[in-house]
Amino acid sequence: MVTPNTRGKMFEYSVLYKLKKHFPEARRVLLSGSLEEKGDILTKNFFIECKKTMHNSIRVTKEWLKKIKAQSGKRVPLLIFSLAYTEPYVILSLDDFISIVTKK
């Protein structure tokens, strides 16, 4: 049986491998949240938190989003998640999305 911690770690690595194709400098943060360095995956421009659940929904709270933004520094904060047997999805603020797609 796969534990939630193992499932989360496996998800982080699967996201990391996909990101490395486009962001070679992407790296997984060891013991993320436990040490000074926060986030699950970091790139030059992105601060990424990963969440994997085997449920059909995920609850995202305002406090959670505020925390990710506060910890991201100058990087764009992203929340990448996957529900039971779904591909990963990304949550980011509308302003960050517009900035990315218009390359401002």
What CATH number is attached to the domain comprising 44? 3.40.1350.10
Report how far residue 37's alpha carbon sits from residue 30's, in angstroms, rounded to the nearest whole number: 9
Higher-pLDDT residue of 46, 4: 46
Residue 17: which domain range?
A: 4-102
Residue 32: the pLDDT is: 60
Q: Give the residue among 43, 39, 45 at the shortest CA–CA distance from 103.
A: 45
Residue 33: the pLDDT is: 56
pLDDT digits (tens, 9 = 90+) for 26-84: 999 986 655 667 889 999 999 999 999 999 999 999 999 999 999 999 999 999 999 99
The pair of three-digit structure tokens given for residue 11, joined into one six-digit string: 């998800």
Q: How many structural domains is the chain composed of?
A: 1
Which residues are CB-contacts of 71 (< 8 A; sequence separation ≥ 6)? 38, 39, 47, 77
